[in-house]
Homo-oligomer: A and B are copies of this chain.
Amino acid sequence: MMRLHDHITSGNGYKVRLLLTLLGLPFTRVEYDIDRGATRTPGFLRLNPNGRIPVLEFEDGRVLAESNAILCYLAEGTRFLPADRFERALVLQWLFFEQYSHEPNIATLRYWITHKLMNDERRAQVEGKRRWGYAALEVMERHLAEHRYFVGERYSIADIALYAYTHVAGEGEFDLARFAAVRRWLERVAAEPGHIPITQA
């Protein structure tokens, strides 16, 4: 059985848990205390030299890191990744947008706030991350004002990746009130058959 090296409140971990569940693929979880360096031990660094969860470990011992790479691997040949070459590229475009323009701002502020990790170095970055986080939400709002899902008007891993930290953006003190299209899309994703919450192990 596949093993997911994970942390339960991680949106990056949740992306993988959600897709594995939607695909009906059985897996076990290994939980790490990320605040206490559990992903920086020599043992963990052998799994992922970059020292981050999630990591998906296959039964034969192969490992794959980076949540959005794991999503692409698992989704291949399923309804969660389009067959069309250009649509697949658009899915990747949104996955890279998520990791570059969205997660480092929206997820990071949530992490610092909910895990009580604020210090001077981090406090100096809050205003910038707030500004760029809202800019990412504006990009999503503009797209979702004209589309039901991010690519091809169908639920795909682009939606899964962006849902993970958007639906808990409030925990990072982002106010979604003015993002009406984003809020309707969040409801649409949560209503997809087989959906599970971020807290479900």
Contact indicator A50/B97 (Cβ below 8 Å): yes
Name A's interface SS.
helix
Q: Give A86 to B58 CA distance when docked, in angstroms.
A: 11
A20, chain B: closest CB distance, angstroms: 15
Q: Give A143 to B62 CA distance when docked, in angstroms.
A: 15
Contact indicator B121/A92 (Cβ below 8 Å): no
Number of interface residues of A (CB under 8 A): 37
> Which residues of the other chain, B, contact A193 by a CB distance below 8 angstroms?
none
A97-B50, A104-B100 known; A64+B90 contact, CB < 8 A: yes
Q: Give A124 to B101 CA distance when docked, in angstroms.
A: 20
Q: Give A101 to B49 CA distance when docked, in angstroms.
A: 12
Contact indicator B127/A124 (Cβ below 8 Å): no
A49-B139, A99-B100, A124-B121 known; A69+B92 contact, CB < 8 A: yes
Contact indicator B86/A73 (Cβ below 8 Å): yes
A64-B89, A96-B66 known; A142+B73 contact, CB < 8 A: no
User: What are 19 A-to-B residue pairs whose CB atoms are below 8 Å?
Assistant: A49-B143, A50-B139, A64-B86, A64-B90, A66-B97, A66-B100, A68-B92, A69-B89, A72-B92, A73-B88, A73-B89, A95-B96, A96-B96, A96-B99, A100-B103, A104-B104, A121-B124, A121-B128, A124-B124
